[in-house]
Structure 1
Amino acid sequence: MRLYEAEGLLASERAPNGYREFSPRAVVRVRNIRELLGLGFTISDVRTFVPHLDHELPPVFGDTAPCATSMRVGRERLATLRERIDALTALHDRIASRLGA
């Protein structure tokens, strides 16, 4: 949680004893951050989703504001994954041909 706070994705207040106190909506925000990170987005990518983090993420993001920037970042991440999959598939095929498989 400190990382998310340091990255500007999460805010907290300080209690008199110095402990961090988070609002109840922080639970949803952290869940959404973790979901996006789990999907392969970077912390930098997740910043573009900030307008959406305090509510359940929609099953599909639209191309209209405020989703447009998130959609662009999502498409870029998807393109990067496709490139990596293609590279791994080519590597797989080269190894398989060497093994006669």
Structure 2
Amino acid sequence: MRIGELADRTDTPRRMLRYYEEQGLIVADRTPNGYRAYDESNVDRVLQIRGLLDAGLPTRLIKQILPCLDKPRVIHFPDATPEMLATLEDERNRMTERIRCLTRNRDAMDEYLGAVREKLATGSTAGG
């Protein structure tokens, strides 16, 4: 697929896709006329990258952990310094806390929606 289709399917600007390619996060083949050609796996890869960026990870760390997200896994440790490991642990802990907060908020919304729907259901049958 060409860059425009990948951009549409992932809701990612073309400029950002080019940046991901420059950072080595995604790979595009080149057609004889010079256009980028992406395979289907790049759709999921771009969505993974966006999720990690939204979680606050910098692209240099994303590049390190992307191999862990695919199977079969091929994990490289070319520059796994103690500082990088500590940064990853901090980011993981921050993500875990965000997940807890999001789960709490989702559960509160579910409770609210359930109460409102119940009220509307009993209110509409009582008034009918």
TM-score (normalizing by structure 2): 0.45
Between Structure 1 and Structure 2, how many residues are aligned?
A: 70
Report whether the alignment pairs 1:75 with 2:89: yes
What residue identity is the alignment partner of 1:6? E
Spell out, residue by residue over 1:9-28, the C-alpha distance to the aligned partner (whole angstroms, 9 max, x if none). 11111112211001100001
Residue 33 of structure 2 is aligned to residue 25 of structure 1: no
Q: Which has the larger radius of gyration?
A: 2
Q: Match for 2:31 among 4, 15, 26? A: 15
- Cα distance in 2 for partners of 1:36, 1:75 equals 14
1:93 maps to none
Q: 2:62 aligns with which of 46, 50, 55?
A: 46
Q: Percent identity?
A: 31
Q: Is the 8 A contact 1:9 1:47 kept in 2?
A: yes
The aligned runs of 1:80-95 (5 Å cut-off) are: none
| 1:18-52 C-alpha deviation (Å, 9 max, x unpaired) | 11001100001000000000001011110121213
- Which range is displaced more, 72-81 or 26-35? 72-81
Is 1:35–2:19 an aligned residue pair?
A: no
Between 1:45-54 and 1:69-78, the stretch displaced more is 69-78
Q: Which amino acid aligns with 1:25?
A: S
- The TM-score with structure 1 as length reference comes to 0.55
